[in-house]
Amino acid sequence: MIPRGFEYFAPRALNEAVSLLQQLGPDAKILSGGQSLIPMMKLRLASPPYIVDINRIPDLNYVSEANGSLRIGALVRESDLEISPLVGSGYRLLADTTKVIADPLVRNQATVCGNLAHGDPANDHPATMLALEATIVAISPRGEREISIRDFFTGLFSTALQPDEILKEIRVPTPPPRSGGAYLKMERKVGDYATAGVAVQITLDEAGVCQRAGVGLTNVSFIPLKAAKVEDFLKGKPLDAAAIKQASEIAAAESQPMDDIRGSADYKRDLVRVLTARALKQAIDRAKGGA
């Protein structure tokens, strides 16, 4: 399978890339890891006339903590995140997620930021970033701006990014003490998209009452879904077995899956229920210092 022809640009600086995007207009596509874009181009589901390859831009490959948040640069590969001790110790939800994205070879090339910028509700990081309340930093000829993850996904394969904007960085707030998270994904085989996936991030107080809850759902709607009703339900409650059961039922009702080759809508809704309960249990264990 051979993509349609295109013109290729490989800028060496971020400002050069941004002005290229401005100059080429909305038909230009950014190439970072390319693990979603290139397959789409090969299938001719996408045939952009201009490709702006950002892989040669220096200083975009960093995972670091600063000013109360984890910063993930545009060129951080999934496998970088997978082996990052910082992520493994302080951001378990993120570590869980990266391990189940595609397969190890794809993860060596795919970028974390691209997983969001692609705007695919079947991707895994969107639900995770919704649960973690991440902030997106975009750069354009007009400068930098911050976008709340809540406002980022606007439709199927659509995001709040303007055609001349580049997703430069993801900022994930550093979880306070007594926080825990987990991502659970049901996939038919390694490398498949989720039949359903659930991301949970919670913070407990000293008495075990839920102070903060973030819940994101993968591939059960046209856009990555923030399960706001579940979040509201969990806040202020002691997370006992009854609360977990009720929360998982609310999540199932909040999901909007469709029948497809991965299963019927009913089956997927039930999966959301089961995975939410399991993810919550694991997140609570981790918030209490367990594995």
Partner 1 sequence: MAKIEINVRVNGVEHRAEVEPRLLLVHFLRESLRLTGTHIGCDTSHCGACTVVIDGRAVKSCTMFAAQVDGREILTVEGLERDGKLHPLQEGFFQEHGLQCGYCTPGMLMTGYAFLNGNTAPTEDEIRHAISGNLCRCTGYVNIVKAYQYAAARLREGGV
Contact residues: partner 1, CB under 8 A:
1-8, 10, 31, 34-35, 38-39, 41-43, 51, 53, 55, 79, 102-106, 108-109, 190-191
Bridge partners for 139 per DSSP:
144, 166
CA 269 to each of CA 250, 252, 263: distance values in angstroms, whole numbers, following the listed order: 10, 5, 10
**Residues in CB range of 82: below 8 A, 6 or more apart:** 95, 98, 99, 107
Give the span between the Cα atoms of 205 and 176, in whole angstroms.
10
CB 114 within 8 A of CB 32: yes
Give the span between the Cα atoms of 34 and 74, in whole angstroms.
13
Q: Three-state DSSP class for 235?
A: coil
User: Which amino acid is present at 125?
Assistant: H
Q: Return the structure tokens found at 40.
A: 């789409």
Q: Closest separation between CB of residue 56 and partner 1, Å?
A: 8
Tell which residue, 103, 39, 123, has the closest CA to residue 112.
123
Q: Closest separation between CB of residue 226 and partner 1, Å?
A: 29
Q: Closest separation between CB of residue 7 and partner 1, Å?
A: 6
Q: Closest separation between CB of residue 207 and partner 1, Å?
A: 38
**Residues in CB range of 96: below 8 A, 6 or more apart:** 181, 182, 183, 184
CB 184 within 8 A of CB 198: yes
Closer by beta carbon to partner 1, 10 or else 274: 10
Closer by beta carbon to partner 1, 55 or else 174: 55
Q: Closest separation between CB of residue 158 and partner 1, Å?
A: 23
Gap between the terminal Cα atoms of the chain: 44
Q: Based on the number of CB atoms within 10 Å of its own CB, is 46 exposed (0-12), middle (13-18) or buried (19 or more)? A: middle
Q: Closest separation between CB of residue 190 and partner 1, Å?
A: 4
- Cα 104 → chain centroid: 17
